[in-house]
Amino acid sequence: MTAIIKHAKLVELLLRKSRERQLAWKETADENTFQVSFPKSSVQIWWTEDGVQVGLVNDKGETVDSFTNYDLRMLINTLRNDDPFAFMVDGEYAAVGTTSDAVKELYHLARRTSLGADKALDDVLSELAG
């Protein structure tokens, strides 16, 4: 499996788990950078002028791999002629819209989770209703 296909699979799985609120995204010291940690590595996501960047960080804190939403879009444009983004995850095809949209959605979910946006929104709605 090529690196770009692994990147696509990583985005799909992170997006699925983030939608299900199963990942503990946290803020980092860098503005607009969010991280989810695993036992031996972490994934960071941040917004740049070049798009949304995803980085894989090893247990020494080194960024060992990274890609942007545009890197994945180039893959899908090449392989699927701008068709919806689809690939195999756990033996099944998973469609998540265009690659660029999937990475952007992942960024926004990571940001909302780490900043506690849902709790803040629930608090305001409760105050307004009460």
Question: Mean pLDDT across the stretch 73-82?
Answer: 61
Mean pLDDT of 64-93: 66
Q: What is the pLDDT of residue 4?
A: 74
pLDDT at position 95 over 60: no
Which amino acid appears at position 56 of this protein?
L
Query: What is 94-128 written as a DSSP string?
Result: EE-S-HHHHHHHHHHHHHHHHHTHHHHHHHHHHHH
pTM above threshold 0.85: no
Question: 82's torsion region: left (phi>0), alpha (psi -120 to 50) or beta?
Answer: left
Residue of 67, 85, 68, 66 lying closest to 76 (CA atoms):
85
- The band of 125, judged by pLDDT with boundaries at 50, 70 and 90, is very high
22: pLDDT strictly greater than 90: yes
Q: How far apart are the first and last CA of the chain?
A: 54
Range of the domain at 122: 3-129
**Count of domains forming the chain:** 1
Percent of the chain topping pLDDT 70: 80
Task: Please give the backbone phi and psi of residue 93, each rounded to the nearest 5 degrees, phi first.
Answer: -75, 135
**pLDDT of amino acid 57:** 97
69 vs 82 pLDDT, higher one: 69
Instruction: Check if the beta carbon of residue 130 is closer than 8 Å to that of residue 122.
Output: no
